[in-house]
Structure 1
């Protein structure tokens, strides 16, 4: 690992389970169930959410209630609500709903971008200019997200220069944050280091956010590399929900409980109570009606002890 940076004292965790988590799930949660899950997460101390996506309901039916969900949570103070938008119409709907920031997304892989939004990368970026104009003066923040930033399930390796070019385009639009999306779990610690160093060279105004999937079991190893490089913003999904409907083999994001457990044990402040977050993870499991990938919600914190009298003693 690159140890040139001190470990951060505080890390910002953005919960993406309600958007990235649910978009690929066969179980469709009602708006009321989503609200209950969000409120449990807020009670645990989560203060940043990528809540939904203002896309066509035909494309992603699980997120068809975007405006209703935002309205149902309007009474919660001091929480930042962001939403993905694919086009100007989506941005208009997000503004009408009262979102705090819109996330514009594009893939670093031409094939995945075509599958995901049915256009090439240049067309996607050109369309963002109109959205930036729409947001100007609105008080709504513009953020960027780069999918397949560490590899593409159709094309294989993705050139770091392509990621840097898109990051520069987001910086030119006025974005301060850009998320590097590990859409199908192809990130490795060396790739994380390469991309973070490159972004700092070519787009220094941007604060990187790391968004890992645990497809190949090294999501938290990639987090450790990000921490070693001083990255302070991460996205995760309650229970480890998630995946991309337009990328074969895309399994769930790193679990919020597992991420916060790691950070807590390292003495890094997140503002999130792990015990309450585990309870939110267990609620997500009940709502989905199946076991979820998160490990800490099953095992509990490291010092969650058992009653020795309740366990049989070996004989012989």
Structure 2
């Protein structure tokens, strides 16, 4: 049995679906199924129950899972242990499409503080893809606007930033004490996928106040958003500290918090629990900067 066989087993155990597991391994289903069967033949017992519509672990599979996880984790840690003796460790960090400016500066500051020990390679990818990238080991850490409930992923809250309403200044001028009920009868305009992350719960709460949250109005960039706001009785939800919001002309577009409803966007730090070598890095990135 080779280490790759344990990787195949872990992928199927993680997904409990041969098709999805094959996709994460960048291979087709037949060879994956054959290699799992070969493992089962070598061990003399089934590892998965395929008798139902859903793949499940057998008792033997359950027993192998923690052993395989430990073996693969320790194997993958070998390069980090050896390289860290002589040079900086490389950390592949994924960041989302949009980051609060203050939070971005804090992250940059914290990374600079450990630049003698770690070399950060930054990738910008959509938050919705980050969990899969972590599990595939395409990245080591991910700053995401999407939470994870995957049992192999560790989640730490990095930041909660207030969200507010962007609206035509002719409807509500800057400085207006805006309440959720004031939006009754208005339409919610949805943006691109990364813009809407984390807003679903907020939108559902606004629907209780009589807001039209149907997906009829959509925009794909700032110019489209401005056109929608100026020509329709609608509004947009956005983090109030976003750089794009700060650049808006307040005489044209108002950025207003809701005085009676707290809206927020949460940013998380994700990593694989098995990657214990990343614990000092994760701790550093979650430390608040003291100016």
What's the TM-score, normalizing by structure 1? 0.21
Structure in which a larger fraction of residues adopt strand: 2
The structure with the larger Rg is 2
